[in-house]
Structure 1
Amino acid sequence: MNDQTLVQPETQADQDWWRGGVIYQIYPRSFQDSNGDGIGDLNGITRRLEYLAGLGVDAIWISPFFTSPMKDFGYDVSDYCDVDPMFGTLGDFDGLLAKAHKLGLKVMIDLVLSHTSDEHPWFQESRASRDNPKSDWYVWADPKEDGTPPNNWLSIFGGPAWQWDSRRQQYYLHNFLIAQPDLNFHCEEVQVALLDVARFWLDRGVDGFRLDTINFYVHDKELRSNPALPYELRNDSIAPQVNPYNHQEHLYSKNQPENIAFLERLRKLTDAYDARACLGEVGEAQRGMQILGEYTKGNSRVHMCYAFEFLENRRATADWVVETFRRFDTHAPDGWACWAFSNHDVRRHATRWDLSDAANRAYVMLMMCLRGSACLYQGEELGLHEADVPYEALQDPYGKEFWPEFKGRDGCRTPMVWEAQDEFGGFTTNDHPWLPVSPAQLEWAVDRLEDDRGSLLHHYRRAVALRRDNPALAKGAQSSPVNEGDLLTFTRSDGEEELFCAFNLSDIAAHLEMPEGQWRAVAGVQTELSAGPMDLPGWGYVIAKREGE
């Protein structure tokens, strides 16, 4: 297959496959190395597609594989329309796409539109002078009279969000690394160019996009300074507590109302293709649910937004699930969330929440029962805990900046473990993988868990199948969750199908009383249900279907 071949997916009967769909996130550097250089690649993903199809997921989301200097491991793009040689070629991507579609898997790619690499030709031209054709493609500003930056905005990765450029003798905005200058969405040419990028990949056959930092696209045109965030709210943040980014309320550096107009343009483009979807990442603590509601409202903006409520350090207790859906019903009654417990930016939830095997099993079943779409992060189906990466092996610039109080994101990005008896987990033949393979994770390798029908891996498969086999769990209505202590209950319904869901989110037995009527257990620790009270053991759950009266 040559680099010019465009692969078109088969026409899908279900235009709303994303609604209630299960998406599996792949961090390509760490999934599977196919050529022995110690870095995962596209052909490695292709090799493992049968495994992913066997999990029963609807789609895969591949983190960035575009041409990049890799200062932020692909989230600093220098060419949006090509594959970095580290990961392969456009032909390799076409082969991956074709095989995924044959296996019934949809493919979403991670578009990073808020910023580029400082090595992108657009930025190289923009910084050359103040009067070149791309001079306003990035956010440039004169210094204050005393030479300091134009306002107080901070970078998530530490320090001011402004960097002095001696060529233009102006500052440029970077909400992330200095090497990641922010694009100026107030410039029409920028929006057109980014829509062309999306069109390139849609024409190639991708099924949708995960949109990185979707609420950072547009900045306040007046460059007003952010106010201070009240001290009592500073623990409620998307950044680690050692980061002064938490000291501001980010009213002007992101979350601007003009953002919606661009999202509507992107949605209109996406809707011109068959059965495509956009998943937006909302990086915001104080107004995250409100923005989710704004960005997914109706049928003219993004299809769904990635919610951070269950990516926080606080465990998804019964009362926090209730509060999260209360907020959702208040701010996003017309919206659609995509829930996740782990991803490439946070400590794995098995570690973050200190979960036992039983707790892990309860939580994935809970995710499959909650209204919304679901996103699984590579390795969580094995029960992987956070890997311990020593400072000398650290790659993440975020971790290097705030070490040792915050160790960065490398602990959740270590290579996937496929083979228990291999020193490098079957990830690579290279004795120097880009991040060390965790010896502690080898006992949870895929081949070992495959041989155990009672393993967490097989449990994940059963949980995903439960959602697939019961339409009410994927797209049905949900009653407002309620809790009595650690016992969480709610119902899901779709037409004549109704399911009752009960979860004991603690290790202490809970008292459960089934609702009136005839119920048949379809999953859980209780296979025989009877009227009246029963004890639900620690981390026990019951999913039951109402029988015909």
Structure 2
Amino acid sequence: MTTNQPLVQDQTLPAAAANPWWKGAVIYQVYPRSFADSNGDGIGDLAGITARLDYIAALGVDAIWLSPFYPSPMDDFGYDIADYCGVDPIFGSLADFDALVARAHALGLKVTTDLVFAHTSDQHAWFAESRASRENAKADWYVWADAKPDGSPPTNWQSVFGGPAWTWDARRGQYFMHNFLGTQPQLNVHSREVQDALLGVVRFWLDRGVDGFRIDAINFSMHDPELRDNPPAPPSNKVRTRPFDFQQKIYNQSHPDIALFLERIRALTDEYPGRFTVAEVGGDDAVREMKLFTAGERRLNSAYGFDFLYADRLTPQLVREAAEQWPDVPGLGWPSWAFENHDAPRAVSRWTPKGVDSAAYARMKMALLCALRGNIILYNGEELGLDQVEIPFELVKDPEALKNWPLTLSRDGARTPLPWAATEANAGFSAADPWLPLGPAHRDLAVDRQQGDPQSLLNLTRQLVALRAAHPALRLGRDDRWVAEGDLLAFDRIADGQHVRCLFNLGGEPIAIATHTAGGTPFVALNGADATALPPCGVLWLNLKGTN
């Protein structure tokens, strides 16, 4: 495959061995507010997603992941949930959700949803009852603590979004904990009753046909009951934009009992055949925690962290180090990878080297993601090559950016509406002004312009996803023979009699590769690559067994 001709998929490949649908899957993240608006209010909704599911299915992905659509005051745009078992009216109704699931399943797509179990909104009925007194039935469903003798907060813990992780509540005469916004009180997941209630949420959505869950910020779900202060972080040359960055986050999160709660979740999901669970795990100790949360057969199926999401540069060494932390050995979890999501700046804006064509870089980046061992997650718009949008301060909605402006880059720039039709009002996203402005370069990247262009990133993404699905080595194989030298990245994928070698130039200067391609038959060649050289952003995939 080159960028000058469409891919003709080889139909002679051996069938992959029986594996769970999710292993090696391609999962497409949908940010509902920004995907497609069906009712003309400027905000995306479930019916809009359903109407565009054919587009997602045509990508060849295995599943969608829906970011939160639950009832919420939207202080953190859905990650502050007021009712775990409903749909916010701006997104539609439970009937709309059921219709989405039915249509997705008819198209062969699995549906995964976000679960936010570390905290709720302060508008949740559980919190309203908990804060009413110290004696009610839900008094200990959240993390409450008395003030110190001088009236100050119980610990020195700081919130991710800035300021103390404690807010005084006069009704109870105590502080409540919040790792994020002050309107996102921390659930006391140590409580068996709270765990039971959360498992009830899991069962509610499983009974509605959901195929799996992405569990948000799960390492924040349990604190140190002894309420010990966090120690200061060691000196660093990195700019610290929040008080949170000045501490080692030892006691406000990452309690060892989290893994035991995950075993309860897994036991429940295993009652429903073919269900999938993946944890989001960030922080300074993420790799150890991801392995802990996915170890063996009794915990979650997979986990992903922020190896790439917050990386300022994409380097061969970064890719190699991240991948080699997950060798193919018994008992070790199965990784998932994302280059972009709703919390991180668009990767093409972060990573494209100065002087390098961003479109060529986007092609290389997509090919690299599709070659990695593990599950891969595509964020909506990534297949179009959308860049990060600069949102002026007066239009910023992101609460983290508002609290830390201008040192924290607004997450809004990665959450802008998808452009569906280049010449329509608001690029076909909505008949009304959208909740965030369109990116100035995004009309030219609209779906309708890319659909009919065999050279487009959209069509290349479809081809690469099809190749990944068709080749057991790419979807399920082990990786081997890593090379990370200068801007050259190379590795092998091996499985079921297949041996694929993948080479990438992550930089802006040509690289000679003849010594790495001997005996191989190229079947993917991007950005002018051939068996002797990789131009800037060049990609070469070779079959070392003589079949494509």
**If the TM-score is normalised by the length of the shorter chain, which range does it land in?**
over 0.9
Residue 341 and residue 516 in structure 1: after superposition, are their counterparts in 2 closer, same or farther (change >3 A)?
closer
Q: What is the deviation of 1:28?
A: 0.2
- Cα distance between partner residues in 2 of 1:19 and 1:51: 23
Q: Is the 8 A contact 1:290 1:331 kept in 2?
A: no
The corresponding residue for 1:449 is 450
Q: What is the deviation of 1:548?
A: 5.4
* Counterpart AA for 2:282: G
Q: What is the deviation of 1:51?
A: 0.3
- Cα distance between partner residues in 1 of 2:244 and 2:172: 27
Once the two structures are superposed, the pairs formed by residues 488-499 of structure 1 within 5 Å of their partners are 488-499=489-500
* Counterpart AA for 1:242: T
The corresponding residue for 1:511 is 512
Q: What is the deviation of 1:210?
A: 0.6
Deviations 1:527-547 (A, max 9, x none): 9977xxx22211112111123
Question: Quick one: which of 110, 129, 134 aligns to 2:114?
Answer: 110
Q: Is the 8 A contact 2:34 2:415 kept in 1?
A: yes
The corresponding residue for 2:285 is 287
* Counterpart AA for 1:293: K
The corresponding residue for 2:398 is 396
Percent identity (aligned): 50
Q: What is the deviation of 1:398?
A: 1.0
* Counterpart AA for 1:393: L
Deviations 1:483-508 (A, max 9, x none): 12111111111121111111111121
Q: Is the 8 A contact 1:326 1:480 kept in 2?
A: no
- Cα distance between partner residues in 2 of 1:308 and 1:480: 24
Residue 255 (structure 2) pairs with residue 253 (structure 1): no
Residue 527 and residue 383 in structure 1: after superposition, are their counterparts in 2 closer, same or farther (change >3 A)?
closer
Residue 97 (structure 2) pairs with residue 93 (structure 1): yes
**Structure 2: 5+ residue stretches without partners:** 1-16
Q: Is the 8 A contact 1:521 1:528 kept in 2?
A: no
- Cα distance between partner residues in 1 of 2:208 and 2:526: 46
The corresponding residue for 2:501 is 500
413-422 or 319-328, which deviates more: 319-328
The corresponding residue for 1:267 is 266
- Cα distance between partner residues in 2 of 1:42 and 1:437: 20
The corresponding residue for 2:139 is 135
* Counterpart AA for 2:102: A
The corresponding residue for 1:521 is 522
The corresponding residue for 2:351 is 353
The corresponding residue for 1:9 is none
Query: How large is the Cα RMSD of the aligned pairs?
Result: 2.0
Once the two structures are superposed, the pairs formed by residues 145-544 of structure 1 within 5 Å of their partners are 145-232=149-236, 235=238, 241-284=240-283, 286-329=284-327, 334-354=332-352, 356-430=358-432, 432-479=433-480, 481-514=482-515, 518-525=519-526, 534-544=532-542
Q: What is the deviation of 1:26?
A: 0.6
Q: Is the 8 A contact 1:325 1:480 kept in 2?
A: no
- Cα distance between partner residues in 2 of 1:392 and 1:341: 28
Residue 426 and residue 434 in structure 1: after superposition, are their counterparts in 2 closer, same or farther (change >3 A)?
same
Q: What is the deviation of 1:526?
A: 9.4
The corresponding residue for 2:3 is none
Residue 486 and residue 247 in structure 1: after superposition, are their counterparts in 2 closer, same or farther (change >3 A)?
same
* Counterpart AA for 1:292: M
* Counterpart AA for 2:234: P
In the superposition, the TM-score normalised over structure 2's length comes to 0.93
Residue 455 and residue 54 in structure 1: after superposition, are their counterparts in 2 closer, same or farther (change >3 A)?
same
* Counterpart AA for 1:454: Q
The corresponding residue for 1:59 is 63
Q: What is the deviation of 1:441?
A: 1.3
- Cα distance between partner residues in 1 of 2:417 and 2:193: 39
- Cα distance between partner residues in 1 of 2:264 and 2:452: 49
SS in 2 for 1:82: coil
* Counterpart AA for 2:352: D
- Cα distance between partner residues in 1 of 2:198 and 2:277: 14
Q: Is the 8 A contact 2:71 2:78 kept in 1?
A: yes
Deviations 1:337-391 (A, max 9, x none): 1111110011111111136111111111111111111001111111111112111
The corresponding residue for 2:27 is 23
Q: Is the 8 A contact 2:529 2:540 kept in 1?
A: no
The corresponding residue for 1:3 is none
Residue 34 (structure 2) pairs with residue 35 (structure 1): no
Q: Is the 8 A contact 1:296 1:336 kept in 2?
A: yes
Residue 46 and residue 516 in structure 1: after superposition, are their counterparts in 2 closer, same or farther (change >3 A)?
closer
- Cα distance between partner residues in 2 of 1:183 and 1:31: 30
Kindly indicate whether structure 1 or structure 2 has the higher relative contact order, using CA contacts under 8 Å at least 6 residues apart. 2
- Cα distance between partner residues in 2 of 1:222 and 1:283: 23
Q: Is the 8 A contact 1:110 1:212 kept in 2?
A: yes
* Counterpart AA for 2:255: Q
Q: What is the deviation of 1:516?
A: 7.7
Deviations 1:202-224 (A, max 9, x none): 01100100100011111111111
Q: Is the 8 A contact 1:25 1:60 kept in 2?
A: yes
Q: Is the 8 A contact 1:319 1:486 kept in 2?
A: no
- Cα distance between partner residues in 1 of 2:246 and 2:101: 43
Residue 248 and residue 333 in structure 1: after superposition, are their counterparts in 2 closer, same or farther (change >3 A)?
farther
Q: What is the deviation of 1:439?
A: 3.0
SS in 1 for 2:322: helix
**Structure 1: 5+ residue stretches without partners:** 1-12
